[in-house]
Amino acid sequence: MQWFSNLMEGLGVECLIGEMRILKLLAEERFPAIWLPSKELQDLRALLRHRHQWVRMRTRIQNALQAIALANGLRRGTSL
């Protein structure tokens, strides 16, 4: 749905998103529109999600390497 909203915004068309059951409210200009984040905020959120995925991957790899090292007796004191 976001691509459609971006397309309409690019064409200069105001797009209200909601349920079809409240068409009466729209006709009465009492439509409870939902808030959509700006393109900048959407981009920031996408970057944060991407970074979170990389951090999770790094943590999994570090844990796997530590498990391998411990299984092979490579522990020196409290650290690897």
Shared domain check, 76 and 43? yes
* Bridge partners, 79 (sequence order): 76
pTM over 0.75: no
* Number of domains the chain is built from: 2
State the Cα–Cα distance between residues 53 and 59, nearest whole angstrom.
Answer: 10
Say yes or no: 41 and 79 in one domain. Answer: yes
Predicted confidence (pLDDT) per residue in 39-79, tens digit: 999 999 999 999 999 999 999 999 999 889 888 888 766 66
Residues 30 and 49 in one domain: no
For the chain, what is the largest distance between any 2 Cα atoms, rounded to a whole number of angstroms? 74
Instruction: Give the domain range for residue 25.
Output: 1-36
Contacts 24+ apart (CB under 8 A), 4-13: 5/36, 6/39
